[in-house]
Amino acid sequence: MSRPDTRPRVPNFSSGPCTKRPGWSLQALEGAALGRSHRSALGKAKLSQAIDLTREVLRVPADYRIGIVPASDTGAVEMAMWSMLGERTVEVLAWEAFGLEWVTDALKELKISPKVHVGEYGILPDLSAVDTKHNDVIFTWNGTAAGVRVPNADWIAADREGVTICDATSAAFAMPLPWDKLDVVTFSWQKVMGGEAAHGMIVLSPRAVARIEDHTPAWPVPKVFRMAKDGKLIEGIFKGDTINTPSMLAVEDYLDTLAWAKGIGGLDALYARADANAKVVHDWVARTPWIGHLAADPATYSNTGVCLVITDPDVLAKGDKAVAAVAKGIADTLDREGIAYDIGAYRDAPAGLRLWCGGTVEASDLEALMPWLDWAFAAEKAKLAQAA
C-alpha cells in the first residue's frame, strides 16, 4: 500500500490528557492568577467562575452542588465513596480497568461486601440485575479503556432509595447525562475538555447532600475527602474554596476551554463534534476488514474513547503475541512518523488501538489518520509474513 499524502494537522489522539481545543496556544493562559493565593479575591473569583461556567455549559441543575477537588476524577469518585457509603448495600459495576478500581476500593479498602457486577472488556454487565431502587450503585458511564458506555439510564429507578455514583470522566461534555437519575457525577478537566491533569470535579444532587449530612462513615475519612463538618456540608468547597491548593494555571486553561465551548454553541455543539468524530472512525471500521470494535454491541459504542481490535484472520491465526505485536507496531510507527500519538490500547485492555474522539479533536484530523492506519497495518502484516 502506498504511503498516504495527507497528514493530520494535530496528531494528538491521546485518551487523557486529551488534545487541546482547536486554536489553543499558551497565550490563552495570560490572564492566569499566577503567583497569587487561590484564597485571594482574584483566586476565589477564578475558581468560582470555573464552577459557574461548568454549571452553564454542562447544564447542571440549579440545586446540584459543583466542587473542584484534588486527584482528578479518581479523587472525586473516592471522595464520594469514603464520605457516603456504608448506610445500605452497595452494588458496583465494572467492565474495564477503571471500574475495577471502584470494585477494589469497595471490597478491599472499605470492606463493605458489595454486590459486584463485572463484564468482560467490550461487554456491559447485566444492568437489569442491579437493584437500583434499594441499593447504592457505583458505575462508569463511559468506560475509557474498553470503549463501552451505558446506552441510557432507563435501568436506574426513578424512585430509588439509595444514591447513584457515576464516574463520568469520559462522558461529561460529550454525551447527555440524565441528572435526575444521577446523585454524584465526577469527571476531570483532562478528558473531553482537553484540560490539564490533577483536578477533579464532583457534582452532588440534593439527595447526595442529604446522605453526606445524615451519614457518619464507619472508617476514617482523609482530609482531602471530607465534605462535611459537624453534620453539615462544607459549602465553601462548592463556592471555590478548595480543599487543597489548585493550580491556577490549570484553572485558567479550564476557563479558556469552557469559554471556547460556549463560543461554538455550548453542549449541543460539543455533543455534535464528538458524534461526528466517532462517526469517522465507526464508518472506517465498517468498511475495513482488518479492524473491529472492542465493544460488542453498537448501542454501547463510545463517542470519545473508541477502542479497536485486530480482526484480520491471518494475524489472528498467528496467536495473541502476533496480534499484540501488530497493534504495537502500528502505534509505534505512527508515533515515529508524527502522525498519531498515544493510540495504543490501555495497558490492561486487550491488545489493540484507542482513538480519542472528544470535542476538542477535529474530524478532519481523524479523516486524515484513517489511511495511515491502513498503511501501517499493511506494513506490520508484511513483517509477519516475512518472519514466517
Q: What percent of the chain shows pLDDT beyond 90?
A: 99
Distance CA 304, CA 358 (A): 5
For residue 361, what is the DSSP state? S
Single residue among 263, 285, 320 that ends a domain in this structure: 263
Residue 199 lies in a domain: yes
Q: Based on the domain organization, do 292 and 351 belong to the same domain?
A: yes
pLDDT at 150: 98
Q: Based on the domain organization, do 64 and 79 belong to the same domain?
A: yes
Q: Which of 176, 201, 195 is nearest to 266 (CA)?
A: 176
Q: Based on the domain organization, do 253 and 284 belong to the same domain?
A: no
Distance CA 152, CA 157 (A): 12
Residue 9 lies in a domain: no
Single residue among 263, 279, 299 that ends a domain in this structure: 263
| Domain range for 285 | 266-387
What tens digit of pLDDT does each residue of 277-290 get? 999 999 999 999 99
Task: Tell me, rounded to whole angstroms, the distance of Cα 234 from its chain centroid.
Answer: 27
Q: Based on the domain organization, do 221 and 279 belong to the same domain?
A: no
Q: Does residue 17 have a cis bond before it (omega within 30 degrees)?
A: yes
Distance CA 208, CA 164 (A): 9
pLDDT at 235: 97
Q: Based on the domain organization, do 304 and 363 belong to the same domain?
A: yes
Q: Based on the domain organization, do 122 and 271 belong to the same domain?
A: no
User: How many C-beta atoms surround the C-beta of residue 70 within 10 A?
Assistant: 18
CATH number of the domain where residue 223 is located: 3.40.640.10
Q: Based on the domain organization, do 100 and 249 belong to the same domain?
A: yes
What tens digit of pLDDT does each residue of 23-36 get? 999 999 999 999 99
Q: Based on the domain organization, do 44 and 129 belong to the same domain?
A: yes
What confidence tier does 322 reach under pLDDT thresholds 50, 70, 90?
very high
Q: How many domains does the chain have?
A: 2
Query: Mean of the per-residue pLDDT values for the chain?
Result: 97
Residue 16 lies in a domain: no
Residue 99 lies in a domain: yes
**What are the helix (H) ranges across 242-362?**
248-264, 267-287, 313-316, 320-336
- Residue 105 confidence (pLDDT) above 80: yes
Q: What share of the chain is helix, strand, coil (3-state, %, to 5)?
A: 40, 15, 45
How is residue 262 written as a grid cell?
460556549
For residue 45, which phi and psi values (nearest 5 degrees)? Answer: -65, -40
Q: Based on the domain organization, do 148 and 271 belong to the same domain?
A: no
Query: What average pLDDT does this structure show over 108-132?
Result: 98
Q: Which of 323, 329, 374, 381 is nearest to 349 (CA)?
A: 323
Please tell me the pTM assigned to this model.
Answer: 0.97
Residue 13 lies in a domain: no
CATH number of the domain where residue 308 is located: 3.90.1150.10
Residue 304 lies in a domain: yes
Q: Based on the domain organization, do 217 and 148 belong to the same domain?
A: yes
Distance between terminal CA atoms of the chain? Answer: 20
What confidence tier does 369 reach under pLDDT thresholds 50, 70, 90?
very high
Query: What average pLDDT does this structure show over 208-221?
Result: 97
Query: What average pLDDT does this structure show over 220-234?
Result: 97
Q: Based on the domain organization, do 337 and 258 belong to the same domain?
A: no
212 within 8 A of 83, measured Cβ to Cβ: yes
Residue 383 lies in a domain: yes
Q: Based on the domain organization, do 92 and 42 belong to the same domain?
A: yes
How is residue 189 written as a grid cell?
478537566
For residue 291, which phi and psi values (nearest 5 degrees)? Answer: -130, 150
What tens digit of pLDDT does each residue of 145-202 get? 999 999 999 999 999 999 999 999 999 999 999 999 999 999 999 999 999 999 999 9
Query: What average pLDDT does this structure show over 372-379?
Result: 98
Single residue among 227, 243, 263 that ends a domain in this structure: 263
Query: What average pLDDT does this structure show over 208-227?
Result: 97
What confidence tier does 388 reach under pLDDT thresholds 50, 70, 90?
confident
Residue 347 lies in a domain: yes
pLDDT at 181: 98
Q: Among positive and negative, which fits the CA dihedral 16, 203, 359, 299?
A: positive
pLDDT at 108: 97
What confidence tier does 1 reach under pLDDT thresholds 50, 70, 90?
confident
What is the layout of strands, in order, in the sheet containing 291-293? Answer: 291-293, 305-310, 353-356
pLDDT at 297: 98
